[in-house]
Structure 1
Amino acid sequence: MSVDRLATSWQRRSVVGVQQAAPIARPTERPTVRHLLHRGDFLRLLLTRLSSQFGDGVFQAALAGTVLFNPQQAAQPIDVAAGFAVLLLPYSLVAPFAGVWLDRWSRRQVLMVANMVRALLVAGVAALILAGVQGTAFYAAGLAVFSVNRFVLSALSAGLPHTTDEASLVSANALSTTAGAVAGVVGGASSIVATELLSRGTSGYAALALAAAVPYLVAAGIVSGFDRGHLGPDHLTRAARVTARDVLSGMVAGVQHTVQHAPAAAALVVMSVHRFFYGLLTLMTLLLYRNSFEPFGPFFPAGLTGLGEVLAAGAVGTLLAASITPWVVRRMGKPRWITLMLAAGGVGQLALGAPFVPPTIVAAGFALGFVAQSIKICVDTTLQETVDDDFRGRVFSVYDTLFNVTFVVALLAGALLLPTSGVSYPMLVVVGVGYLLTALAFARWNAAQERRSPGSSHTTHLRPAKNASD
């Protein structure tokens, strides 16, 4: 059955203006994957995400092969951290400003145009790889692609509540973000397999980078099937110009709106701390597979292929988290599940990371994938439930900024503290204990919230869209 036929049961007005809020599920309805996939608009947005993030995986694997696993280049910790900083930080510093546009422009238009722009940009990066260009020009081109990538992900998250009902929001996040993450891993794995079969030289990596343009164009075609205002924001503007003052005031308003909603602010703090520890573990793993590990038996290779194995294990953990988290959240609530996952992250990384051998690192990747996705599902849902739609683009852009900045700060800290081999027991202890302390702090905060508002940890109602007269 086509997406268009599935969509006929639930339509919006195609004109720019006030959009109707998503229909609210009856209390007796139980959110299921089948329920979600029978909504044409949710399925269309999901397919947009899958195609887009598959392309991300292909492109990022090509970039990793070119930079991190090129035998002609050194892979010192500071070099790896600097590369990530150049690619991620510049956009992260302007992302809150970009969020103002997500709350002013049609998110459908943003997703369509951004994916077409990415297709052009990766073609340029492919040309640079083929020409052997390194340094400033290469990183600037990579930065452009990564910047648009993050903009797309923010738009996807901000638009999701327009394609589902309140009762299904946790399940919708679990399905969409997990499927997107897995699509990215599949794209990266496909690239790694292609390099094994074809060539690891510059021509092979250039071809892979160029191939990423195809899923980006497919994503643009899929999202074009939405009406212009379907994904919000609820109050679209026809203004052709957005002044610098508008952008600055909008960014400040988004931050203030987040701070005024304690669950949203706490969720962002938890995710920021988690991403810091995640960044330390990422750098450690890259260095281990680049500089220390040798093949461990027939099933645990080293190098880029071994790193791909860790990513695949993380994807399995991500899938498991997606299948379990909605069920658990319905029974214990999001805050308690986040607390449990933070504690599990600390214990799991200490126990599995300490041997510093490929089999246990793969297992640690699985555990971290499960923990990370469980936390992300809860954080995404909390923001979507507690933030007004008119602020959602800005809040998710602030979220994206924290997501990237804390990751890069962790890489820079790790670059100063980690040896080139990647083996560091003190750093592993810092990560494990840090997760446990964060779990304790968040549990105490949640207990205080429950005393003030009994039952608040289990349900937070989706904030309705404002009426045109408001």
Structure 2
Amino acid sequence: MAVVRDLRVLLRFPGFRRLLTVRLLSQSADGVFQVALASYVVFSPEQETSPAAIASAMAVLLLPYSLLGPFAGVLLDRWQRRQVLLYGNLLRAVLALGTAALVLTSMPLWLFYLAALSVTAVNRFVLAGLSAALPRVVDGERLVVANSLSPTAGTLAATAGGGVAFLIRIPAPEGAGSDAAVVVAGAVIYLLGALAALRIGRELLGPDSSAPHPRMATAVADTARGLVAGLRHLARRRRAAQSLASMALLRFCYGALTVMVLMLCRYAWDGGRIGGMALLGLAVAVSGLGFFAAAVLTPWAVRRAGRFGWIAVCAAATAVLVPALALPFSPLPTLCAAFVVGMATQGSKIATDTIVQSSVDDDYRGRVFSLYDMLFNVAFVGAAGAAALMLPPDGRSAALVATVTALYATVAAAMFHVKRGDGHPAERDGMVTPVRPTTS
């Protein structure tokens, strides 16, 4: 009820309503495009899907966020943000249409990746522009609430967009034409996002054109030096560094298991393209339910076990349940494992977010979270690469399950040791109310 009340208050701001509309359309189009990418790379009969191909697709989707993210602000402080939202969505619509044309011509896979990389690279600027514009459309008193609700709404929109893509794709006949139709649907939604941006005043979202800016080369160099300074500061904050290391390992496990499930859906469960995509969609939905279960459970769990204790519990639970559920390599137990892994990963992330926020000095917090974002995505891509080396074509790999189980157990032992070293959670573990979670 508190969330509904907060949203009602925010929607009284016309600028926030319009900015939120752009976000919802943009991120729903992202969901459509990402499902189209997965469909073409993983389930297309024309492609010989392999773990290496899946790892390449994940790198295309995630590395632009990691590499461009910290530097996007340099340009966003120079360009009008309304124009970034307008032209960014227009450009993505054009690029998506070009990608659809390439799908119809059965182009080489590397060319498809190049087109997809172009779309996701522009996406980094659009998302950063949406976040940077929020202080211009709500007052300071409600900015924290807006920063919590707006990205969460965007994540839900991306999930809904993925659902729309499945609805378009599943009943369609086999062939490249159906993949292209999904991409075209994404292009149309990108275009709607651009049109929605036109309803926002050109100057409303900033930046202030009268503010002095350093030269571009100087700004980029300052950003790079800031990241190095953030890394040095993180090295002096042992508890924050330990929580980030544990989160990177848990994200690695999540990524490796994701690739395994993709290969199981494609080959081992013999559902054909339609059945395989339906099972994949169900696995994503079940994992998402685990994310939301973590959002509900984590505040209660942290009050009782402490943040490091909760990370230890999450890792220990997955260390026990993942091999029991995943080793049969059957759909139903694996879907149960997806729920457990989703809940444990998101629960640990919520705790890690709060540890970093409370342990890092305010002057360094933005830079440390930029490093956190990079580490989060690089761990996922690295996991896909490692899975590509370990997985057989059908995805049934006891060695991979044993590896992630060992990593989960290692994180559980390490975090339990840290918790014991900190004493009672209410004394040394910084008992503050956890931040509202993001779903990543």
Per the TM superposition, whether the score is higher than 0.5 is: yes
How far off is 1:39 after superposition? 3.8
Structure 1 CA distance for aligned equivalents of residues 229 and 412 of structure 2: 30
**1:212 has 2:186 as partner:** yes
Partner of 1:133: 107
Does residue 440 in structure 1 map to residue 427 in structure 2? no
- What's 2:66 paired with? 92
What aligned pairs does 1:448-459 form with structure 2 within 5 A after superposition? 448-450=421-423, 454-459=427-432
Q: Which residue does 1:241 correspond to in 2?
A: 216
The structure 2 residue matched to 1:282, chosen from 224, 241, 258, is 258
Q: What is the deviation of 1:340?
A: 2.2
State the match for 1:6 in structure 2. none
Q: Which residue identity lines up with residue 184 of structure 1 in the other structure?
A: A
Identity of aligned residues (%): 41
SS at match of 2:43: coil
Whether 1:149 and 2:146 are equivalent positions in the alignment is: no
Q: Paired residues, what number?
A: 426
CA contact (8 A) 2:306 2:426 kept: no
TM-aligned CA distance change 1:421 to 1:452, over 3 Å = closer
* Cα RMSD, aligned residues only: 4.1
Which residue is equivalent to 1:337?
A: 310
Residue 68 of structure 1 aligns to a residue whose secondary structure is: helix
Q: Deviations over 1:46-84 (max 9, x none)?
A: 655543332221001111122211112211222322343
For 2:172, give the aligned amino acid.
L
**Partner SS state of residue 216, structure 2:** coil
Partner of 1:24: none
Q: Which structure 2 residues correspond to residues 1-80 of structure 1 after superposition, within 5 A?
A: 32-40=2-10, 49-80=23-54
Letter in 2 for 1:433: A
* CA separation of 1:378 and 1:178: change in aligned 2, threshold 3 A: farther
User: Aligned pair in 2 of structure 1 residues 397, 69: CA closer, same or farther (>3 Å)?
Assistant: same
Equivalent AA in structure 2 for residue 409 of structure 1: G
Aligned to 2:170: 196
Alignment match of 2:161 (pick from 166, 187, 193): 187
Alpha-carbon distance between aligned partners in 1 of 2:227 and 2:398, rounded to the nearest angstrom = 41
Structure 2 residue 224 is matched with structure 1 residue 254? no
Task: Tell me, yes or no, if the aligned pair for 1:98 and 1:394 is still in contact at 8 Å.
Answer: no
Q: Which residue of 2 aligns with 1:10?
A: none
CA contact (8 A) 1:158 1:392 kept: no
Q: Secondary structure at the match of 2:411?
A: helix
- Cα–Cα, structure 1 residues 166 and 209, in superposed 2: closer, same or farther, change >3 Å? same
Cα pair distance change 1:372/1:105, threshold 3 Å: farther
Distance of 1:147 and 1:303 partners within structure 2: 29
Match of 2:372 among 399, 407, 427: 399
Change (3 A) 1:114 1:178: same
1:214: how far off? 4.1
Aligned equivalents of 2:348, 2:139: Cα separation in 1: 21
Deviations for 1:94-149, whole angstroms, at most 9, x for unmatched residues? 54444665788887776665444433332332232233322433211111222333
* Map of 2:244 onto structure 1: 268
1:321 partner letter: A
1:291 to 253, 256, 267: 267
Q: Are the aligned partners of 2:19 and 2:200 in contact in 1 as well (CA < 8 Å)? A: no
TM-score, reference length from structure 2: 0.80
* Residue identity matched to 1:293: W
**Structure 2 residue aligned with 1:321:** 294
CA 1:371–1:52 in structure 2 vs 1: closer, same or farther (change >3 Å)? farther
Indicate the larger mover: 365-374 or 328-337: 328-337
In structure 2, relative to structure 1, the CA distance for the partners of 1:305 and 1:107 (3 Å cut) is same
Change (3 A) 1:408 1:401: same
Structure 1 residue 295: deviation in Å? 4.2
Within the candidate set 282, 286, 303, 2:276 is matched to 303
Q: 2:401 & 2:355 partners in 1: Cα distance?
A: 30
User: Which whole-Å deviations, capped at 9, do the CAs of 1:224-283 have from their partners, x for residues lacking one?
Assistant: 7599797999xx764463434334323323333444444543343222111111111011
Report the CA distance between 1:181 and its aligned residue.
Answer: 3.8
Q: CA deviation at 1:285?
A: 0.7
Helix, strand or coil at the partner of 1:212: helix
CA–CA separation in structure 2 for the residues paired with 1:231 and 1:385:
30
Distance 1:317 1:287 in 2: 21
CA apart distance, 1:342? 2.1
Of residues 309, 315, 319 in structure 2, which corresponds to 1:346? 319
Q: Mark the CA change 1:372 to 1:215 in structure 2 (over 3 Å): closer, same or farther.
A: farther
- Aligned AA (1:250): G
Cα deviation code 1:388-414 (max 9, x no counterpart): 676555434322321221112111111
Aligned residues of 2:66 and 2:377 also touching (Cα < 8 A)? yes
Q: Is this contact kept in 1: 2:293–2:343, CA < 8 A?
A: yes
- In structure 2, relative to structure 1, the CA distance for the partners of 1:131 and 1:249 (3 Å cut) is same
Return the letter of the residue paired with 1:136: W
- Answer with 36-45 or 358-367: which moved more: 36-45
Three-state SS of the structure 1 residue aligned to 2:395 is coil
SS in 1 for 2:432: coil
Aligned residue in 2 for 1:119: 93
Distance in 1 of aligned mates of 2:321 and 2:139: 34
In structure 1, distance between residues paired with 2:325 and 2:59: 28
Bigger CA drift: 366-375 or 92-101? 92-101
| In 2, Cα distance between equivalents of 1:138 and 1:359 | 33
Q: Taking structure 1 as reference, are residues 91 and 185 closer, same or farther at Cα in structure 2, changes over 3 Å only?
A: closer
Residue 425 (structure 1) aligns with:
398
Distance 2:225 2:359 in 1: 21
Q: Which of 81-90 and 382-391 deviates more? A: 382-391
2:438 corresponds in structure 1 to: none
Alpha-carbon distance change, 329 to 154 in structure 1, aligned in 2, over 3 angstroms: farther
Q: Do the aligned partners of residues 343 and 106 (structure 1) sit closer, same or farther apart at CA in structure 2, a change above 3 Å counting?
A: farther
User: Which stretch shifts more, 409-418 or 378-387?
Assistant: 378-387
Q: Equivalent residue of 1:356, what SS?
A: coil
- For 2:322 and 2:352, how far apart are their aligned partners in 1? 21
